């Protein structure tokens, strides 16, 4: 699961196909993510002190991670992400299309460093 909170993603399947937006949160247990202004649903709320008018609240519903594609910051294209080790042994995410790095996953370990 390489998509993280704050990433820009493109929706590749579903009613909102083609939209690009930012990830609000990711749930590892369910394999879903909340994406800004994607998969909007109405929640009907009863009148209360918190919502004195009541009515319908529009909110985002979780989207399956398989329906999202990471948008690379370098090539600006929806792409898959890969994981690789850098020369110092740190693990990073990278764009499969252009090879640009998309952030570090794990700190450097000497066991994974290339020997000189």
Give domain limits for the chain.
1-71, 73-116
pTM score > 0.85 for this model? no
Which of these CATH numbers, 2.30.30.30, 3.40.50.300, 2.60.40.3710, 1.20.20.10, describes 1-71? 2.30.30.30
Which pLDDT belongs to residue 116?
61
* pLDDT tens, the chain, 116 aa long: 799 999 999 999 999 999 999 999 999 999 999 999 999 999 999 999 998 999 999 999 999 999 999 999 999 999 999 999 999 999 999 999 999 999 999 898 888 888 76
Laid out side by side, the sheet with 101-106 consists of: 81-85, 91-95, 101-106
């Amino acid at each position: 699961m390489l998509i993280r909170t704050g990433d820009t993603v493109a929706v590749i399947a579903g009613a909102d196909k083609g939209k690009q937006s930012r990830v609000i949160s990711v749930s590892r247990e369910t394999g879903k993510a909340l994406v800004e202004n994607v998969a909007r649903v109405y929640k009907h709320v009863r009148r209360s002190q918190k919502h004195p008018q009541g009515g319908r609240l529009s909110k985002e519903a979780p989207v399956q991670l398989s329906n999202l594609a990471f948008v690379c910051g370098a090539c600006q294209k929806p792409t898959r992400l890969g994981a690789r080790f850098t020369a110092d042994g740190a693990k990073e995410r990278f764009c499969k299309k252009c090879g640009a790095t998309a952030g570090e996953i794990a700190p450097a370990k000497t066991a994974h460093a290339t020997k000189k």
